[in-house]
């Protein structure tokens, strides 16, 4: 893995948390775990209560370049002290496949806090997806009516009345010319050079290049066919070329097409930064290898073994351990009584996060009381210029408080216990073979997993949330290969005396012995 270090301090009087000390300990952590540090981002004398930190913002922006896999901080309060900012920026990093890890904190977040953070992120993702569905539904209806759904108009067309595409008399001849010349044997390079010599420009007002024609030659809109996702409407718009000319171009493109290099699949290791070797306390990192038959294998390997540091722990199959952790977590966390207990703690955690709101609400109550007292005095005939001035001040203060409260509540929404219960319950019946489901369960609920020779210790993201399961019991339930396809047997299998009864058809687990809650 490649990493960058983010360091920050808020004032000159901090000594233990100095930049040099933070960078040194983060570097030691990286070296210990076999992580390569490729750079640092440092903000000096800037508080983490604000996200207006130049180096921090540069780090977030440059994460999109995919140059590093993790951000290492001395402690998580160096990254952000506001959980909502933390969730927002971690989500941005997550979209770029970058994780945040702490060099000094064994458990990445405080109890319940990380589930709240993950839930806020997940709910935002859920409502965003829901909004996307509504938008897609509306745009599908537009497509069925032959209306253009936005974006730049294709070369050769202009947007007319009712959001319908109409032929552009100026650029449509260029489209016909390009199709005809290519179908008759000219190269795309020659066509592009010809257009540029004549001073012609693309729709984006740039010179024509070879790839300028790629989307043009593939676009069936030029034969009058409008497509939007799975919706296909023939003759929805005026055609610029004939179907016969379009097919001639497709046949020539197919003939000239070089076999593309097979795209590399991006494998996501869900337990990356969370899977710890129980023997040497180093992280277990994702590895891959190819067998003699050419089959690709993916697994986790201890950084101590990888760096020849004396650790003798074995590699673990990626699919096997990830699915096992998900299945155990479904049983341990996603039970009705456990969901109810965690949701209650999340409500309390939300209240603790909004430290300003209780104060503002109290000030609003006090201001309302002062207004009521003043009104009573006025009703008793004690009205004067000072009383009017005081009333105006109180009314203005009341409005300011209401605006401030509304702004905070809009920026940082709170969820009721029922909403939190419903949200967590959505995960009870997912498909353990789904990669998205695996990622969500591990990201939301699993803090870290320590692997020993005979057992695994799972630490969950809430207080007292731990589970120990023997490797033998997991292997007895799932076999040595827990990767893909249906399980070989469809009968309940009770593990030896420790924890669970496992239904091997659905991979769901039910508790058969008491847990220390």
Q: Give 400-424 pLDDT, tens digit per residue.
A: 888 777 766 555 566 788 888 888 8
More reliable by pLDDT, 258 or 476: 476
Q: Is the pLDDT of residue 320 over 60?
A: yes
457 in any annotated domain: yes
Based on the domain organization, do 97 and 241 belong to the same domain?
A: no
Alpha carbons within 13 A on the beta-carbon side of 301? 16
More reliable by pLDDT, 121 or 278: 278
CATH code for the domain in which residue 73 is found? 3.40.50.1390
Based on the domain organization, do 322 and 451 belong to the same domain?
A: yes
> Which of 508, 500, 189, 492 lies closest to 327, judged by CA?
508
Neighbours of 386 (CB within 10 A): 8
Residues 107-163: pLDDT tens digits?
Answer: 545 555 566 666 665 665 565 566 566 666 766 776 677 677 666 778 888 888 877
Q: Which pLDDT score is estimated for 507?
A: 31
User: In the chain, how many domains are there?
Assistant: 4
| pTM of the complete model beyond 0.85 | no
Alpha helices in 101-184 (DSSP H): 113-144, 172-183
Based on the domain organization, do 299 and 439 belong to the same domain?
A: yes
Q: Is the pLDDT of residue 502 over 60?
A: no
Q: Which pLDDT score is estimated for 302?
A: 93
Q: What is the mean pLDDT of residues 499-516?
A: 30
Based on the domain organization, do 154 and 193 belong to the same domain?
A: yes
Which helix (H) or strand (E) segment holds residue 62: the answer is helix 54-62
297, 288 in Cβ contact below 8 A?
A: yes
Which helix (H) or strand (E) segment holds residue 167: the answer is strand 165-167
262, 279 in Cβ contact below 8 A?
A: no
182, 191 in Cβ contact below 8 A?
A: yes
Q: Domain residues for 318?
A: 275-334+427-511
C-alpha distance from residue 478 to each of 295, 325, 436 (Å): 22, 12, 21
Q: What is the mean pLDDT of residues 283-293?
A: 87
Which helix (H) or strand (E) segment holds residue 6: the answer is strand 2-9
Based on the domain organization, do 61 and 100 belong to the same domain?
A: yes
DSSP strands (E only) in 275-329: 275-277, 284-290, 296-302, 316-317
Q: Is the pLDDT of residue 501 over 60?
A: no
Q: Is the pLDDT of residue 70 over 80?
A: yes
Alpha carbons within 13 A on the beta-carbon side of 505? 3
Last residue of a domain, one of 202, 223, 256: 256
Based on the domain organization, do 495 and 399 belong to the same domain?
A: no
Comparing 12-16, 35-39, 510-514, the range with the smallest average pLDDT is: 510-514
344 in any annotated domain: no
CATH code for the domain in which residue 170 is found? 3.90.1750.20
pLDDT grade for 277, boundaries at 50, 70 and 90: very high
pLDDT grade for 489, boundaries at 50, 70 and 90: very low
Distance CA 444, CA 61 (A): 24
Q: What is the mean pLDDT of residues 424-444?
A: 85
Based on the domain organization, do 161 and 249 belong to the same domain?
A: yes
Q: What is the mean pLDDT of residues 197-224?
A: 84
Based on the domain organization, do 239 and 285 belong to the same domain?
A: no
More reliable by pLDDT, 112 or 24: 24
Q: Is the pLDDT of residue 488 over 50?
A: no
Q: Which pLDDT score is estimated for 386?
A: 77
What percentage of residues in the chain have a pLDDT greater than 90? 15
Based on the domain organization, do 251 and 304 belong to the same domain?
A: no
Based on the domain organization, do 405 and 289 belong to the same domain?
A: no
pLDDT grade for 300, boundaries at 50, 70 and 90: very high
265 in any annotated domain: no
Q: Which pLDDT score is estimated for 517?
A: 30
Neighbours of 510 (CB within 10 A): 12
Distance CA 347, CA 415 (A): 7
Q: Which pLDDT score is estimated for 505?
A: 30
Q: Is the pLDDT of residue 26 over 90?
A: yes
Last residue of a domain, one of 363, 381, 411: 411
432 in any annotated domain: yes
Alpha helices in 184-316 (DSSP H): 188-197, 214-218, 243-256, 303-306
Q: Is the pLDDT of residue 68 over 60?
A: yes
Q: What is the mean pLDDT of residues 477-502?
A: 40
Q: Which pLDDT score is estimated for 88?
A: 75
Last residue of a domain, one of 411, 437, 452: 411
Q: Which pLDDT score is estimated for 97?
A: 87
441 in any annotated domain: yes
Q: What is the mean pLDDT of residues 382-402?
A: 81
139 in any annotated domain: no
Most confident of 129-133, 284-288, 400-404, 511-515: 284-288
In this structure, are strands 296-302 and 316-317 parallel, antiparallel, or unpaired?
antiparallel
Distance CA 423, CA 426 (A): 5
pLDDT averaged over every residue in the chain:
77
388 in any annotated domain: yes
Q: Which pLDDT score is estimated for 506?
A: 30
Q: What is the mean pLDDT of residues 208-212?
A: 81
More reliable by pLDDT, 70 or 131: 70
113 in any annotated domain: no
Based on the domain organization, do 360 and 456 belong to the same domain?
A: no
Based on the domain organization, do 186 and 54 belong to the same domain?
A: no
What percentage of residues in the chain have a pLDDT greater than 70? 75
DSSP 317: E
Radius of gyration of the chain (CA): 31
Q: Which pLDDT score is estimated for 483?
A: 41
> Which of 142, 178, 138, 187 lies closest to 162, judged by CA?
142
More reliable by pLDDT, 409 or 320: 320
In the chain, count of helices (H) and strands (E)? 16, 18
Distance CA 464, CA 455 (A): 19
Comparing 19-23, 363-367, 382-386, the range with the smallest average pLDDT is: 382-386
Q: Is the pLDDT of residue 427 over 80?
A: yes
Q: Which pLDDT score is estimated for 201?
A: 82
Q: Which pLDDT score is estimated for 449?
A: 92
> Which of 19, 78, 8, 71 lies closest to 43, judged by CA?
8
């Amino acid at each position: 893995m490649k990493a960058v270090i983010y360091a920050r301090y808020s004032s000159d009087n901090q000594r233990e948390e100095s930049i040099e000390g933070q960078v040194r300990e983060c570097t030691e952590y990286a070296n210990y775990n076999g992580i390569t540090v490729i750079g640092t981002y440092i903000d000096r004398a800037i508080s983490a209560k604000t996200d207006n930190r130049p180096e921090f913002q540069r780090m977030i922006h440059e994460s999109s370049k995919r140059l590093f896999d993790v951000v290492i901080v001395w402690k998580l309060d160096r990254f952000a002290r506001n959980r909502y900012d933390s969730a927002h920026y971690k989500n941005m990093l997550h979209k770029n496949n970058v994780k945040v890890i702490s060099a000094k904190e064994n458990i990445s977040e405080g109890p319940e806090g990380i589930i709240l953070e993950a839930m806020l992120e997940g709910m935002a993702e859920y409502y965003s997806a829901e909004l996307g569905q509504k938008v897609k539904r509306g745009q599908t209806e537009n497509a069925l009516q032959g209306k253009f759904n936005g974006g730049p108009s294709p070369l050769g067309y202009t947007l007319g009345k009712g959001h319908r595409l109409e032929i552009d008399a100026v650029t449509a001849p260029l489209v016909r010319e390009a199709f005809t010349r290519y179908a008759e044997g000219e190269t795309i390079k020659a066509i592009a050079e010809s257009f540029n010599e004549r001073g012609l420009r693309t729709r984006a007002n740039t010179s024509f290049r070879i790839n300028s024609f790629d989307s043009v030659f593939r676009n069936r809109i030029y034969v009058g066919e409008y497509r939007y996702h799975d919706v296909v409407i023939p003759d929805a718009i005026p055609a610029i070329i004939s179907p016969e000319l379009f097919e001639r171009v497709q046949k020539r493109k197919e003939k000239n097409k070089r076999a593309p290099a097979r795209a590399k699949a991006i494998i996501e290791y869900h337990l990356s930064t969370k899977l710890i070797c129980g023997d040497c306390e180093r992280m277990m990192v994702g590895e891959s290898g190819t067998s003699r038959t050419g089959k690709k294998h993916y697994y986790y390997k201890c950084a101590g073994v990888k760096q020849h540091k004396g650790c003798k722990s074995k590699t673990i199959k990626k699919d096997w351990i990830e699915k096992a952790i998900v299945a155990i977590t479904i049983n341990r966390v996603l039970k009705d009584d456990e969901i109810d207990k965690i949701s209650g703690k999340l409500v309390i955690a939300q209240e603790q996060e909004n430290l300003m709101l209780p104060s503002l609400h109290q000030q609003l109550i006090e201001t309302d009381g002062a207004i009521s007292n003043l009104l009573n005095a006025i009703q008793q005939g004690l009205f004067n210029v000072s009383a009017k001035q005081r009333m105006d001040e109180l009314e203005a203060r009341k409005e300011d408080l209401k605006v401030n409260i509304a702004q905070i509540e809009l920026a940082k929404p709170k969820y009721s216990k029922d909403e939190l219960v419903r949200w967590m319950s959505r995960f009870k019946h997912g498909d353990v073979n789904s990669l998205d489901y695996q990622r969500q369960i591990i990201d939301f609920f699993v803090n870290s997993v320590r692997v020993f020779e005979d057992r695994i210790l799972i630490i969950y993201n809430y207080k007292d949330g731990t589970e120990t399961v023997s490797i033998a019991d997991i292997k007895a339930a799932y076999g040595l290969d827990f990767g893909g396809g249906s399980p070989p047997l469809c009968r309940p299998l009770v593990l030896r005396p420790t924890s669970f009864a496992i239904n091997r058809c659905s991979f769901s687990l039910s508790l058969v012995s008491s847990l220390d809650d």
